[in-house]
Structure 1
Amino acid sequence: MKKNIAIIMGGYSSEYKISLTSGNVVFETLDREKYKPYRIHIFKNKWVYVNDEDMEFPIDKNDFSINVGSFKIKFDCVFNAIHGSPGEDGYMQGYFELLGIPHTSCPMYQAQITFNKRDCLSVLKPYGIKTAESYFLNLGDTINEDAIIAKVGLPCFVKANKAGSSFGVSKVHKKEDLQNAISIAFKEDDEIIIESFLDGTEVSVGVITYKGKIKVLPITEIVSENDFFDYEAKYLGKSQEITPARLTPEQEDKVNKEAKKVYEILKMKGFSRSEFIFKDGIPHLLEMNTVPGLTKESILPQQAAAAGISLPDLFDNAIEEALK
């Protein structure tokens, strides 16, 4: 009997359009012999099932079901394709875990930790994971520009602490530009992280649970045409994404071990994509994404393809792992 799969997409953040694209790729790709997929749009003002005629049917939040005509439809599994809140920060995970509905993403605690950049880095540092120097600010804090620069130097990166797809991120070269960058970051989040600039090769490493085992995928090297890997570079073709990355065997071994170590320390499940920069030959962790882009052009599917894993197989495995 075919399993009903709810593909949740959209979300409450600036990433909702990217999420809709990822979700629709999952919807189009899932094996119709095994699954009956449903597109579920999650927005602040509505949670709805959208059928092939673009008709909308409200979700009953009491049990995450839908009524279509005289039929009540419940779901065997949820495929999470929401980038940002509430799909990547633990809220949807907690909701489904309370309802006892399997889902493809990591558990609630892991989602909360990894979505909060400064908490994630703080948890990992005692395990010897190298990171950039960082300075934290909450909305309303006194901004001491000299103290910030003394800690992280120039240039530096100013980032919204809980946001993705490079929303709210600026690279600051001069002290007089720092305040504006902080204002931009605070438009996305009430917490920000300011990090030192690491000059080196940037790579993205996908780690997944595949057929019951942790698997590190082929590494992608990021070469941005812009000043850094910003929104344009990620989504508007302003970068090269080279898979496999042009690393020495020693570099490849080091970053593979670090990425797997991070996945294991955090007791991750499902998809993850971690960003590293090599400084003095040592990989430094920037952040981890637990609901990465899932289009054919996205980094993690590129890596899976390089490992001989097709999109249908990648998505099928995610569902089968969730159902275990």
Structure 2
Amino acid sequence: MARQNIAIVTGGDTLEAASSAASARNVHEHLDPARFNRFLISVENWKWRLVQADGMDAAQLADARIDLADFTLAVGADRIRFDAAFIAIHGAPAETGHLQAYFELVGLPYTGSGILASALAMDKQSCKHFLAHALGIPTPVHRYVTDGEEAFDPAAPGIAFPCIVKPNSYGSGMGVALVADRQALERAVKRIHALGQDILIEQFICGREFTVGALMLDGKIEILPIAEVFRPDHSAALHEVGEVVFTDRQSAELGLDPDLPDGCKERLCDLTARIGRAMNCRSFYRVDYMLDRDGGVYFLELNTIPGMTPRSVFTRQMERAGIGQADIYNRIVQDMLARSVAGG
């Protein structure tokens, strides 16, 4: 059987581009070269570049051009047609749904969730509202602040200092801060405005933080081992400077299969499965939660393209489940190709 041409698409238009590149390289390494011709392609501001391809030298890579009319690859006199795309971009234009829309226009199957699920999940406020109404899932009290509005004094019911300030449509924990006073709030708002983002201000849930990964293959959901996220004690920084600026979750400590109160593990797994089905997620996804001191579970956000680097939470959850990366990435491609043949 002839090998199929798979475009592993990376890059993106945000500060998450470096993480996207690391994820794409890892996927490239684990896709089976006996079954697939692997093409690592980067896109930034809709400018495409072939980075690596099986059997091509540096001169051929430099000469290669993507034809956007049909997403074919021209290398000299040869034209290569892709069978599918493996999307490994965190943030825009993939998690916003724009890249999926383009691939659907040119008729190319792709991994991950579709246009609507991607765009809705990336808009944190809209995703919270949808899941709260569709499934009755609790979420922290929050307020949405558009780019043109001034920072507000947290006086809305349920919101008080300290509170969480975050970009409404960004990932990897970038721009997220815990603030304790008005001055720190205004600093956080300015940083988020500099990213060109609207702002979400949330009630701070004092408790434990969890993230739950899931695979959705062959129409079935497999929930991966729960990970608990441990952050350094931030009480001193809050007292001294009024804020704690969070960073990429890959720098946080993780605990897999944590000790949980009775019924909590089952609730987290059930919520994660229900969210995946309600959002019509595909291939993989990851959901973040807070557990308050009274045992209440709060939905934070949904990530439709979780990190796939060797150090990523999702990767470590797969490994804890005893699932090899090569097995998963190859299964994801095969599942996507099967769905495209079946018209799903």
Q: TM-score range by the shorter chain?
A: over 0.9
Given residue 250 of structure 1, which amino acid in structure 2 is its aligned partner? G
Equivalent position of 1:201 in the other structure: 208
Given residue 315 of structure 2, which amino acid in structure 1 is its aligned partner? P
Equivalent position of 1:31 in the other structure: 32
Range 183-192 or range 77-86, more displaced: 183-192
Among the aligned pairs, what percent are the same residue? 30
Equivalent position of 2:195 in the other structure: 188
The DSSP-based 3-state class of the residue aligned with 1:97 is helix
Equivalent position of 1:298 in the other structure: 312
Equivalent position of 1:135 in the other structure: 143
Cα deviation for residue 249 of structure 1 reads 4.6
The DSSP-based 3-state class of the residue aligned with 2:200 is strand
C-alpha distance in 2, partners of 1:34/1:88? 27
Equivalent position of 1:221 in the other structure: 228
TM-score (norm: length of structure 1): 0.94
C-alpha distance in 2, partners of 1:310/1:226? 34
Range 239-248 or range 314-323, more displaced: 239-248
Equivalent position of 2:265 in the other structure: 252
Given residue 200 of structure 1, which amino acid in structure 2 is its aligned partner? G
Equivalent position of 1:88 in the other structure: 95
1:231 aligns with 2:239: no
Cα deviation for residue 229 of structure 1 reads 8.9
Cα deviation for residue 176 of structure 1 reads 2.3
The DSSP-based 3-state class of the residue aligned with 1:152 is coil
Given residue 143 of structure 2, which amino acid in structure 1 is its aligned partner? Y
The DSSP-based 3-state class of the residue aligned with 1:322 is helix
Equivalent position of 1:73 in the other structure: 80
1:158 aligns with 2:172: no
Cα deviation for residue 151 of structure 1 reads 4.5
1:316 aligns with 2:330: yes
Equivalent position of 2:239 in the other structure: none
Instruction: Summarize deviations over 1:75-113 as a string: whole Å, max 9, x none.
Output: 111000000000111001111112221111101000000
C-alpha distance in 1, partners of 2:232/2:307? 20
The DSSP-based 3-state class of the residue aligned with 2:300 is strand
Given residue 129 of structure 1, which amino acid in structure 2 is its aligned partner? I
Instruction: Summarize deviations over 1:258-288 as a string: whole Å, max 9, x none.
Output: 1111111112112101100112212211101
Cα deviation for residue 45 of structure 1 reads 6.2
Range 121-130 or range 167-176, more displaced: 167-176
Equivalent position of 2:299 in the other structure: 285
Given residue 217 of structure 2, which amino acid in structure 1 is its aligned partner? Y
Contact 1:41–1:49 under 8 Å retained in 2:
yes
Contact 2:4–2:82 under 8 Å retained in 1:
yes
1:271 to 275, 284, 289: 284
Q: How many residues align?
A: 320
Cα deviation for residue 308 of structure 1 reads 1.9
TM-score (norm: length of structure 2): 0.89
Could you tell me which runs of 5 or more consecutive residues in structure 1 were left unpaired when the two chains were aligned.
Answer: none
C-alpha distance in 1, partners of 2:177/2:184? 10
Instruction: Summarize deviations over 1:180-208 as a string: whole Å, max 9, x none.
Output: 11111112233111001111111110111
C-alpha distance in 2, partners of 1:169/1:195? 11
The DSSP-based 3-state class of the residue aligned with 1:101 is coil
Contact 1:106–1:290 under 8 Å retained in 2:
yes
Instruction: Summarize deviations over 1:207-250 as a string: whole Å, max 9, x none.
Output: 11134311111111111226479325x23x3x221112222351
Instruction: Summarize deviations over 1:152-184 as a string: whole Å, max 9, x none.
Output: 111111111011111121110112211111111
Contact 2:27–2:308 under 8 Å retained in 1:
yes
C-alpha distance in 1, partners of 2:34/2:218? 20
